Amino acid sequence: DADVTQTPRNRITKTGKRIMLECSQTKGHDRMYWYRQDPGLGLRLIYYSFDVKDINKGEISDGYSVSRQAQAKFSLSLESAIPNQTALYFCATSDLSSSGANVLTFGAGSRLTVL
Amino acid sequence: DQQVKQNSPSLSVQEGRISILNCDYTNSMFDYFLWYKKYPAEGPTFLISISSIKDKNEDGRFTVFLNKSAKHLSLHIVPSQPGDSAVYFCAASGVRGSQGNLIFGKGTKLSVKP
């Protein structure tokens, strides 16, 4: 099984619908993240959480919300999806490496299309 | 304003030759730099990192060089193999207040031709 599992892997929805992307991890890491990838724009941070009681906005949090249900689970919600939220979404976890770098482990991604 | 820049969207290299992927940054307070590799339909995977107190880190065929005065780092892959064909992301962390969060460049697509 993958260390970081995202569901669904693909989703097509309509404008205005509520969508939830789920993420679970078996790494035992405290830190979890949601990123968005758009063509030509790299990876941009939406929200992050350093433990169950800690939720922080990232670079592009507008239009999104998150829930950290447990150490291993971090879900991303789009309350009312719009077409410019069509993107590839990645969940990630991290723990500081022995070198001190914040090394992220990513899930395989959830491709969301909003029509 | 982009803090981490990968100015080459793509790079094509012959198998066996050296691949050099470049990354520039603007914030001198970054303390770690990382490279990730991404294949289609998969998430990015960590490749190699370097601390700002070093100028070189090597792991097998992969070497990262850091030039702090130029705010520039590069990833060298020697020898390049067709399986290295992927999108490579440069990332940086350590700016005060960022809590160690990574800032990614836009990526460079490497194609290694057999």
Task: Give the minimum alpha-carbon distance from B68 to chain A in angstroms, rounded to a whole number.
Answer: 17
Q: Residues B91, A42, A37, B46: is their CA dihedral positive or negative?
A: negative
Q: Are A90 and A9 in contact (CB under 8 A)?
A: no
Q: What is the pLDDT of residues A73-93, one digit of tens each?
A: 999 999 999 999 999 999 999
In this complex, is the C-beta atom of B42 within 8 Å of any C-beta atom belonging to chain A? yes
Point out the residue among B6, B32, B44 whose CB comes nearest to the CB of A101.
B32
What is the band of B34 on the pLDDT scale with cuts at 50, 70, 90? very high
DSSP A84: G
Between chains, do A102 and B101 touch, taking CB under 8 Å as contact?
yes
Q: Answer yes or no: is pLDDT of A101 > 90.
A: no
Task: Give the minimum alpha-carbon distance from A66 to chain B in angstroms, rounded to a whole number.
Answer: 17
What is the band of B98 on the pLDDT scale with cuts at 50, 70, 90? low
Residue of B nearest to A106 (CA): B43
Please report residues of A whose CB lies closer than 8 A to that of B9. Answer: 40
Q: Are B23 and B5 in contact (CB under 8 A)?
A: yes
What is the band of B101 on the pLDDT scale with cuts at 50, 70, 90? confident
Please report residues of A whose CB lies closer than 8 A to that of B32. Answer: 99-102
Query: Hey, which residues 12-71 in chain A have their CB within 8 Å of chain B?
Result: 33, 40-45, 48, 50, 56, 58
In this complex, is the C-beta atom of B105 within 8 Å of any C-beta atom belonging to chain A? yes
Q: What is the pLDDT of residues A16-73, one digit of tens each?
A: 999 999 999 999 999 999 999 998 888 999 999 988 999 999 989 999 999 999 999 9
Three-state secondary structure of A5-65: EEECCEEEECCCCCEEEEEEECCCCCEEEEEEEECCCEEEEEEEEEECCEEEECCCCCCCE
C-alpha dist (Å) from residue A60 to A63, B26, B38: 9, 20, 22
